Amino acid sequence: MKVYDVVPGLEFDAERDFEQSPAWFLDGTHSVPPWTPMFGWFWVSFCRHGMQYGAEKLSLPTVKGWDWRFHNGGGYLTLLLVKSEEEKQRREKKFQKAILPFIQDYDGLWNGYVEEILGRYENLKKLDLDTADNLDLLDNFEETINTCRRMWEIHMYMMYGTYTAYILFENMCRELAGIDDTSPLFHNLVSGFDNKVFQVDKRLWEFSKRAREEGLEMAFLEGELEGIKSRLEGSDKGRAFMKDFSEFMDEDGWRMQRMSEMNLPTWVEDPTPALMNVKQFLQKGGGFNLEAERAKVSDARLVAEKKVMEKVPQEQQGWFTQLMRLAQKSGVFSEEHDHYLDLYTHAMMRRSALGLGKRWAQEGAIDDAEDIFFLQPDEVRRAGINPDQFDMRYIVERRKAEWKGWCENPNPPAMLKEGFDLDQAMAVLVQSNDPIALKVVVGAMPQVRPELKADLYGTCGSPGVAEGPARVIMNEDELGLVQEGDILVAASTSPSWTPIFSMIKGVIVDRGASLSHAAIVGREYGIPVVMNVFEGTAKIRSGQKVKVDANMGAVYILDK
Amino acid sequence: MAQKWIYRLEELRSKDNDRVGKKCANLGEMVHMGMRVPPGFAISVDGYERFMDETGAGEEIRKYVEDAGESIHKIEKQVEAGRLIRGIIEGKDMPEGMKHELYTFYDELCETVGMPDVAVATRSSGAVSMPGQMETYLNVKGKRELLKKIIKVWGSAFTTRAIAFRLEKGMEMSKAPIGVAVLKMVNARSAGVTLTVQPTTGDLTKTVVEGNWGLGESVVSGEITPDSFLVDKVSRSIVSSTISNKPRMVVYKKDGIGMVSVPAEKQDRACIDERELDEIVRISLEVETYFDMPQDMEWVFDEDMQFPENLFWVQTRPAKFSEKKEDDSEYLAELMTRIFKM
């Protein structure tokens, strides 16, 4: 019998798809390692929808969002360019009106969406999945699908609008003050702001303080990470601690260990990653240095603002200040949207799918609750109401085997039509003027300065200079290895990495732009970040002594 | 010992709002920020309560209101009540103990400024804003007069509007959270206001300073066209200045204030010089930073003193201003299309 495509209609098809676009890029930040089929279906279907929705709602003059394809667990994307000059002009007129809400009431806009989406999550969580009947379980899953689609609409509309303002600000800084977004002075202008992710980190730090005050340190410091919870529960104080910690998890723990996947437990199910962060704060000791750091960083911001303002002609300062305030929200948005949108929605997807999975396993449609991640929604619907009537195990088996194969054979970074090379493909990305492509995906190309005699060249994500032992981290499971004073080397980082920024002295990432996670968080913690070095994780080994000079975009390996 | 009911301004901070009212608490905060305010002292709500208590005025009012019953909700009755209650309050003398304490503070003030029977302004300072309770008496000289005016300020808590307001809000009739500020009268050469935001456009990069000869009332009330300066906050340079013809100004008269003609040779001259303007801007920006929001402030230059000691501040509060004009947003939107053309 025929097995369905994972993402029907959006599986990569070389013959057809190269006719549409000669270059398809792998989304390495989100789809390496490869996605499980169900997660891939959610992402490709709705990230794609959200980008086109956002670009259309804003009527972006040059780009209509991105198209996505699914290929062996990887997400491949290409840009949908506006084809005629006449259409560009038409869209431009509309855009000038459509962007106004961002300029006039940014906070109102963003807070409104946060409220809307949190309301949807609350609705989904109302259903007790263990006691619900099959109709309600299926209905909950359908509502989760709708929530995911809505999440991506909000996500991409907000992201396009926000980054458009940021890019204009960056251009204006270049024109009026002679600085761009790889310059340390520019970074000083956009840092020193609190956000929801940092607030969660602070709660974790407060728990570490409490653990120390109540003599619970040993439960954290001795023995395996996985045992922290049971060791705590061996004492009255520890039980009280875990009770409060679980309450905190119910509030803020709706997030994934790996941001863009659903096959690992949320913090609510398994608080180990969160407890690991508490442990790291305990090992490090001292205060919550982000706050002291933020005070310094905001002072530096005020100095930078003054410096830049001196260069801006007086009659331009009014709107320039307004634009600056808007651009300063980009970093906050970048971090907060991960918390409220991606992480939370993915946690909801896992919750709802596992609810079905458990029922199906009980009624015999699949062997194990987590097998549900190897099915896509059409298949879920097939057996949704009467799982006792359908045996879905043959699909699960086949998909599982395929998925294992995907994990063993990495997807290529791009699919290119014959005769088309990567440089040409990158040029198309840049020409699109797509704000997300420019600020998150591509970034600035590093300038090689032979006179520096550096081992790697990148761009400045956050200013500063630091030296220390390198720690190469390839995925979230290894974050526990990070030691105080390390220089983190990674392909890229995401919100679950934020707490370790309080321990490390510097960051080197293979890819990234000035609104990538590593850059934003590095600036808030006041540590240097060099990005777009491309070969950092390949060339540097853990334990090697390295020096990062972010101001110059240079990385030195001191003991080769 | 009886409860403390008079405070030096430097003893007060904004948290004392409930005790001494907004104006006094604000003046205390201003002193704390290093702004020069006219020397003086504050009479707390406790002073009012003690007066009402010891003189029996409080009891009389309670009784009157009780007898009036439902009829108090009629406007005619409220007019009568206002007149009657003010009569009760103003008909009482201050108890000896209180009198003694008040005189001690006044003597100390006279000594500080080196003038016997120094002229002061007595202003009401409500802990909650209440319409129609804004009695101010200027140019008050001597102990006896001061005492009478303070009692009058207390009485002003019972204007018809204030009574109606209290009934509407279900507040107790005999209570009035009212404090009194007693401040030395500044011999105003020039006075005016400064706004650390352009009120019309919401432009936060500029400060507006407006002033006239004499007291600030002519500027605040908008009766004349004042001199106007627009100053850039960062560079502190003057972006534009308009020196208006100012034929009239407000000065102190024997009983309060009034309009007089400005001498011909001064009518077209700027009422402050550049150095004075710069000092106003400097301090106003410090205060704005302190509160972290645009401020609406009132300043006075004293005739008899030397710069910069002659600059006094009488008020600072959050500025009201309209949001950025549509045009600027549209201009920004237009600029944003540029990033798609590179």
| pLDDT tens-digit profile, chain A (560 residues) | 456 799 999 999 999 999 999 999 888 888 988 999 999 999 999 999 999 999 999 999 999 999 999 999 999 999 999 988 899 999 999 999 999 999 999 999 999 999 999 999 999 999 999 999 999 999 999 999 999 999 999 999 999 999 999 989 988 888 888 887 778 888 889 888 888 888 888 899 999 999 999 999 999 999 888 999 999 999 999 999 999 999 999 989 998 888 899 999 999 999 998 999 999 889 888 777 777 778 888 888 888 999 898 888 777 788 899 899 999 998 889 889 999 999 999 999 999 999 999 999 999 999 999 999 999 999 999 999 999 999 999 999 999 999 999 999 989 888 999 988 877 877 777 778 888 887 776 666 777 888 889 999 998 889 899 999 999 998 777 888 899 899 999 988 887 788 888 889 999 998 888 888 899 889 888 899 999 888 899 999 999 999 999 989 999 999 88
Please give the residue range of the domain that contains residue B248.
188-323
Q: Do B232 and A103 touch (CB under 8 A)?
A: no
| Tokens found for residue A252 | 């803020």
Question: Which member of A96, A314, A321 has the closest CB to residue B337?
Answer: A96
Interchain pair A319, B331: CB under 8 A: yes
Are A173 and A239 found together in one domain?
Answer: no
* C-alpha to C-alpha distance for B336 and A163, rounded to whole angstroms: 10
> Residues B161, B287: one domain?
no
| B244 within 8 A of B229, measured Cβ to Cβ | no
Strand partners, B182: B41, B122
Is B1 in the A-facing interface, judged by CB distances under 8 Å? Answer: no
Partner residues linked to B301 by β-bridges: B190, B311
Pair A408, A503 in one domain: no
Residue of chain B whose alpha carbon sits nearest to that of A162? B336
Say yes or no: A44 and A159 in one domain: yes
Q: What angle do CA A532, A534, A540 make, to 5 degrees?
A: 115
Residues A113 and A256 in one domain: no
Q: Which of the listed residues A416, A434, A458 is the one where a domain comes to its end? A: A416
A396-A399-A403-A409 Cα dihedral, nearest 10 degrees:
150
In a domain? residue A423: no
C-beta separation of A65 from A56 below 8 A = yes
Contacts of B337 in chain A (CB under 8 A): 61, 92, 95-96
State how far the Cα of A408 lies from the Cα of A411, in Å rounded to an integer: 9
**DSSP secondary structure string for all residues of B216-284:** THHHHTT-S--EEEEEETTT--EEEEE-----EEEEEETTEEEEEEPPGGGTTS-SS-HHHHHHHHHHH
Cβ within 8 Å, pair B336-A60: no
Say if residue B160 is in the same domain as residue B286.
Answer: no
* Distance of residue B229 Cα from the nearest chain A Cα, in angstroms: 15
For residue A61, the chain B residues in CB contact (below 8 A) are 337, 340-341
A424 domain-assigned: no
CATH of the domain at A459: 3.50.30.10
Token pair of A94 as six digits: 């509309």
**Is residue A182, in this structure, part of any structural domain at all?**
no
Residue A83 lies in a domain: yes
Cα separation, A107 vs B254, in Å, equals 54
CATH number at residue B57: 3.30.1490.20
For residue B340, give the nearest of A62, A306, A318 by CB distance: A62
| A403 and A505 together in one domain | no
Q: Among B205, B324, B342, select the one facing A317 at the smallest CB separation.
A: B205
CB A559, CB A544: distance < 8 Å: yes
Residues of A with CB below 8 A from B342's CB? 171, 433
Residues in B touching A167 (Cβ below 8 Å):
339
Measure in Å the smallest separation between the Cα of B203 and chain A Cα atoms: 6
Is the Cβ pair A92, B337 closer than 8 Å?
Answer: yes
For A510, half-sphere exposure in the C-beta direction (CA atoms, 13 angstrom radius) is 15
Tell whether A217 and A169 lie within a shared domain.
no
- The reply to whether B267 and B212 lie within a common domain is yes
Chain B neighbors of A309, CB-CB under 8 A: 205, 234
Q: How far apart are CA B299 and CA B338, in angstroms?
A: 45
Q: What is the pLDDT of residue A495?
A: 79
Specify the DSSP element, H or E, that contains A539.
helix A536-539
Q: Which residues in chain B have their CB less than 8 angstroms from residue A60's CB?
A: 340
Residues of B in contact with A92 (CB under 8 A): 337, 340
**DSSP one-letter code for B188:** E
- Assess B200–A contact: CB distance below 8 Å, yes or no: no
- Nearest 5°: CA angle at A506, between A337 and A248? 40
Tell whether A29 and A164 lie within a shared domain.
Answer: yes
User: Cis ω on the peptide bond leading into residue A33 (within 30° of 0)?
Assistant: yes
Contact predicate A486/A503, CB 8 Å: yes
Q: Are A20 and A160 found together in one domain? A: yes
Token pair recorded at residue A335:
């971090």
Contacts of B234 in chain A (CB under 8 A): 306, 309-310, 317
User: Is A61 in Cβ contact with B332 (below 8 Å)?
Assistant: no
**Residue A143 CB contacts under 8 Å (≥ 6 apart), including other chains:** A120, A123, A124, A352
Helices and strands (H and E) in chain A: how many: 23, 12
Would you state the pLDDT for residue A227? 93
Number of domains in chain B: 2
Contacts of B237 in chain A (CB under 8 A): 314
Contacts of A196 (CB under 8 A, 6+ apart): A335, A336, A339, A340
Instruction: Let me know if residue B89 belongs to a domain.
Output: yes
For residues A460 and A411, membership in a common domain is answered with no
Q: What are phi and psi of B139, to 5 degrees?
A: 60, 40
Q: What is the 8-class DSSP label of residue A523? A: H
Residue pair A284/A503 in contact (Cβ under 8 Å)? The answer is: yes
d(CA A476, CA A491): 12
Burial state string for B308-340 with b = 16 or more CB within 10 A and e = fewer than 16: eebbbbbbbeebebeebeeebbbbbbebbbebb
Are B131 and B240 contained in the same domain? no
Where among B160, B184, B208 does a domain terminate?
B184
Contact list, A96 vs chain B (CB under 8 Å): 330, 333-334, 336-337
Boundary (domain end) residue, out of A392, A416, A440 = A416
* A110 neighbors A161 (Cβ within 8 angstroms): no
Cis, bond preceding B247 (omega within 30 deg of 0) = no
Q: How many CA atoms lie within 13 A of A296 on its CB side?
A: 10
Minimum distance, in Å, between the CA of residue A103 and any CA atom of chain B: 6
B324 contacts on A by Cβ (under 8 Å): 104, 322
Q: What is the CATH number of the domain that holds B289?
A: 3.30.470.20
CB contact under 8 A, A322 and B328: yes
CB contact under 8 A, A314 and B340: no
Query: And the tokens for A488?
Result: 């983190």
**Is there a domain that residue A426 lies in?**
no
Domain boundary pick from A230, A257, A287: A287
B327: nearest CA in chain A? A319
In a domain, B15, yes or no: yes
Same domain, B198 and B235: yes
- Residues from A contacting B (CB-CB < 8 Å) are 60-63, 88, 92, 95-97, 99-100, 103-104, 164-165, 167-168, 171-172, 306, 309-310, 314, 317-319, 321-323, 326, 433, 435
> What residue has token string 């120390």?
A212
Domain limits at A533? Answer: 450-557
Cα-trace Rg, chain B: 23
Alpha helix positions (H), B156-273: 160-168, 217-220
Which residues 6+ apart lie within 8 Å of A389 measured at CB?
A: A383
Check: CB of residue B300 under 8 Å from CB of residue B281: no
DSSP per residue, A371-411: GGGGS-HHHHHHHHS-GGG---HHHHHHHHHHHHHHHHSPP
Are B339 and A322 within 8 A, CB to CB?
no
Same domain flag for A216 and A244: yes
Contacts of A301 in chain B (CB under 8 A): none
B332 within a domain of the structure (yes/no): no
Inform me whether the C-beta atom of residue B307 falls under 8 Å from chain A C-beta atoms: no
Q: Which of B132, B167, B184 is the last residue of a domain?
A: B184
Asked if A78 and A41 sit in the same domain, the reply is yes
Instruction: State which residue of chain A sits closest to B232, comparing Cα positions.
Output: A314
Residues A172 and A83 in one domain: yes
Please enumerate in sequence order all residues whose Cβ is within 8 A of that of A548, keeping only pairs 6 or more positions apart, or say none: A465, A466, A467, A487, A506, A507, A508, A528, A529, A530, A554, A555, A556
Residues of chain B predicted below pLDDT 70: 1-2, 129-134, 200-202, 222, 255-256, 321-327, 342
The count of structural domains within chain A is 3
A386, part of any domain: yes
What are the backbone dihedrals phi and psi of residue A111, each rounded to the nearest 5 degrees, phi first? -65, -35
Residue B336 lies in a domain: no
B239 and A CB contact within 8 Å: yes
- From the list A95, A314, A318, the residue facing B328 with the nearest CB is A318
Shortest distance between the Cα of B139 and any Cα of chain A, in A, equals: 43
